A and B are shown apart, each in its own frame.
Chain A
Amino acid sequence: MDRVKITRLLLTSLWLLFVLTISVAVSAGDEEKLTGKTANINTADVEDLTQVPLITRDLAERIVEYREEVGDFQVLEELLQVDGFTYKLLERLRPFLLLEGLGGDDCTC
């Protein structure tokens, strides 16, 4: 029998968990090398998010506001909903962003 889909969001990968609190350095093509900390975008507070490279305090505040207003992020692409977040920025930040949260796709009514 095929199993009903579980909507719990999964960690992007185990190694990302492992490096949760340590610094990461990433070079993407010709872009400058980024260094900073990783963060789970569904639990990180503004301070945590500002430790992620390229996330300004303003942007961090908007991410937290969005999450508190409308619920957990379901996929990283949902960050594009937040004013000031661009696709290019998302692509550069992917290695620093973790996603674990809860969504509600399970209604039986």
Chain B
Amino acid sequence: MSSKRKIGKSKTSEIDRRSFLKIGGAAAAGGALSAVLGAEILFGAPLPAKYVDKEVDSCCQFCQVRCTTRVQIKDGRVVNVYGNPDNFWTGGAMCPKGKSMVELTYSPHRLLYPLLRQGNQWKRVSYRQALDLVAERILKVKKDFPDNYAHRVAMFAPLWESWESELAARMALHLAGFPDICSPGDACIGSSSTALNLCLGSPISPTTLDEILNTEILVLFGANIAEMYPPYVRWLSLAREKGVKIIYLDPRYTPTSNFCDLQLRPRPGTDGALVLGIIRFLFDKNLINNRIARSHINGFDELNAATDSYTPAKVAEITGLSQKELISLADRLGKSERVIFWLGGAISRYTNSIQTVRAIIALQAITDNLSGSGKGIMNTQGGKPGGGENFSEIYRSPDLASRLSFRKVRYNMERGRVNVLLLNSSYRRYPDANRVREAVSKVDFVVYRGFFMDKEAELAHLIIPGTMVFESEGSQYGAQRQVVWRNKAIARPGETVEDWRFYADLGKKICDGTFPEFNAAEDIYDLFRFESPSWQGLTLERLQNSPTGVTWPFPSSSQSEVKGSLYPDNRFWTPDGKVELRIPALGPIQWTEPKGSPRSTTREVREFPLVFTQGKVVHHWQQTYTGWSSYMAQFSEGNYVQVHPDTVKGLGFKDGDEVYLETKLGQIKATLKITESILPGVVWTPSHTTPTSPFSGNAGDTINTIIPNYWDKVSAQYNGFGCRLIKA
């Protein structure tokens, strides 16, 4: 591939320990932005050989950049981790989250032994005792409710530990007859992946990152790459060096703004209207080849009709952009031969998100930009390979009931109909988190598979602590459809246990002898590959020898790996091979205000006039885990809110004030940051502070406790509704 020569190795190995520490200190003093922009070099430094006994190939278990790493060990202890310089996608870069694992592994706060609740006390029990207790509880459910046990045991996913853990958990529960594993998509990018699946036949990102070097225009649609995926920043720089124009759509100026040619700032939640306006413009200006478009799109004429009213004037009014900006953007996109859209996570977190992503797919389809080199769509966290249907069909009870989504599980918990909950993920990932907490508290037996005494532990009857990233082996997938193998670097401490082992042990006890025998994560991977035709070429050996990971699909060992477009020949994975824009359950493509928006709801206008938005910062990974790192806390600032000076003009607020950020559900305390980088009338706050963190930088109220319960058909809304600020 032509890009490979340029991508090559980063300069990380040229930085010695001393300069690393110096830069680290500078970054801390300079605040979050410098840390973000320096991340790709700053966090990649290896320790000199004299301080190290051995190095083990591993990977980071957090985001889907899936940085491969090298773990440095001295006297049986991890002393450092650095990015693998031969990784094609990262060039050896990492972000601070991956680096924080060294500290977290040895955290004095870490839970190392199973704990059983006895009144207000915790009693230490052995892993075997804990396992027996869980199995007993689950088998009792089957005994007590022989005709309707299916929805009485549930699990909150995801399992971060490895793909094998996800498989083992699914097998154990499905073979035992319990379908309810709450998909992380409910609280993540479920809307965009559903739209991609409906329209193209696969939920997976239609192309990979290397293709941005072959495009003309890259549109970052709310994709704050520098903050979310710091190791990919160099790809943005390389694309620009090659003449690619990068257009960034985001209501805020962020670190990513520095890497773009143009930024437009539509009002939050209006992206769908913007895209429908562009489509209307292209129809009106005859910038679409109708014959070609009709030949590969179902619903082309309906699209023309549905966008009829999205005139520049109307779209300008909705989005807050000028008609000139809108027309200029539409004209550029219409006249470009190759365009890639990169969707940020926020695109999926409005109640109009499925329609927005459907509109983006339609735009790419009518401009012939969905298939081939330099074209397509990338979705943040959108790389999970498919192809596991066969395996799922085999390893399940023959009469397994249909899976209930999170909201339906919550509905059952609230009515006391769930007896055992396996809490593998934070309950605080959902909106109205206090209501979720209340629902979980009605479950008879909650098992927490966590690492620290988090809010989740407060709800647990039994804690069985998990291993951390250096203590287990297994595969993990990444945003570029790559599958990566991670080796075990050190022994697991105390009586911690890998997720795959826990669920394999449990499976043997609750599945009536139908659960297969596994002695290692490799056994699970091999079985899955054996049953999955599109994984045949993804041999363990190939994964273990690759510093990058290997790209799915890979149906035959005799073929070579294929990156880039999932649909190279304009044939999509829909039943007739065409782009399917007709989705009866959604009706025509259209844009609507997000639920609870101050622009659409009288009450919100009056009482909660500001638009709430939130996002991930580089130093936090969800509600648990990295919140327990002092290393991360030095860069973090707890709960804060960004507002434009005009938003607080004449109201007596000043920068640094303590305020309450309030929605119709409640309030959290935060520090006010007055900045021109955000649109007037909009509030932005970081997503993942946690009240249980012992470090002030990470500590703060869980913001999902004030996120109202607004959902589209598949996933939750986290932005776009009304809020207000009150002096503390």
Contacts and interface: CB of A to CB of B under 8 A. Distances in A.
Contacts of A26: none
A105 B183 contact: yes
A106 B184 CA distance: 10
A107 B190 contact: yes
Q: Which size class do B's interface residues fall under?
A: 35 or more
B404 A78 contact: yes
Nearest to B585: A102
Interface string A80-109: 110000000000000000001111111111
B382 A8 contact: no
A81 B585 contact: no
Interface stretch (B84-92, B192-200, B652-660): B192-200
15 contacts: A1-B555, A2-B534, A3-B202, A3-B389, A3-B573, A4-B389, A6-B197, A7-B194, A7-B197, A70-B410, A74-B403, A102-B583, A102-B713, A104-B190, A109-B185
Contacts of B168: none
Nearest to B533: A2
Contacts of A70: 405, 407-408, 410-411
A102 B401 CA distance: 18
Interface in B19-50: none
B203 A106 contact: yes
A106 B405 contact: no
A71 B201 contact: no
Contact of B203 (A42, A69, A80, A108): A108
A96 B502 CA distance: 45
A19 interface: no
Contacts of A100: 584-585
A108 B193 contact: yes
Contact of B407 (A3, A6, A42, A69): A69
B387 A101 contact: no
B184 A107 contact: yes
Interface residues of A, number: 31
A29 B386 CA distance: 44
Closest CB pairs A-B (n = 5): A107-B185, A104-B714, A4-B386, A106-B203, A108-B384
A108 to B, nearest CB: 4
Given A4-B386, A69-B407, A104 B194 contact: yes
Contact of A2 (B387, B401, B412, B585): B387
A2 B390 contact: yes
A36 B585 CA distance: 24
Most buried by B among A4, A7, A66, A108: A108
Given A72-B713, A108-B193, A81 B405 contact: no
Interface string B198-213: 1001111100000000
A77 B573 CA distance: 29
B405 to A, nearest CB: 6
Given A71-B407, A77-B402, A108 B387 contact: no
A8 B583 CA distance: 9
B387 A4 contact: yes
Given A42-B585, A71-B713, A109 B389 contact: no
B573 A104 contact: no
A107 B585 contact: no
B586 interface: yes
Interface string B386-409: 110110000000000111110110
B351 to A, nearest CB: 12
B686 interface: no
A106 B158 CA distance: 14
Nearest to B415: A83
Given A1-B553, A3-B389, 14 more contacts: A2-B387, A4-B197, A4-B386, A8-B198, A71-B407, A74-B403, A81-B408, A101-B713, A103-B714, A106-B196, A106-B714, A107-B186, A107-B203, A108-B384
Most buried by B among A6, A9, A66, A81: A6
Contacts of B584: 100
Contact of B186 (A9, A75, A77, A104): A104
Given A3-B201, A7-B194, A70-B408, A105 B585 contact: no
A2 B386 CA distance: 9
Nearest to B188: A109
B367 interface: no
B312 interface: no
B645 interface: no
B411 A78 contact: no
A69 B408 CA distance: 9
B153 interface: no
B383 interface: yes
Given A2-B534, A4-B202, A75-B402, A106 B407 contact: no
B183 A74 contact: no
B711 interface: yes
A3 B183 CA distance: 20
A69 B585 contact: no
A105 B183 CA distance: 7
B253 to A, nearest CB: 26
A33 interface: no
Interface string B522-561: 0000000000111000000000000000000101000000
Interface string A1-43: 1111111110000000000000000000000000000000010
A5 B391 CA distance: 13
B585 A108 contact: no
Contacts of A78: 402, 404, 408
B715 interface: yes
Given A4-B203, A4-B389, A105 B403 contact: yes
B419 interface: no
A71 B712 CA distance: 8
Contact of A71 (B64, B405, B534, B586): B405
Contacts of A69: 407, 411
Contacts of B475: none
B185 A104 contact: yes
Contacts of B379: 108
Interface in B427-453: none
B663 interface: no
B504 interface: no
B354 to A, nearest CB: 8
B381 interface: yes
Interface in B550-579: 553, 555, 573
B205 A108 contact: yes
Nearest to B190: A104
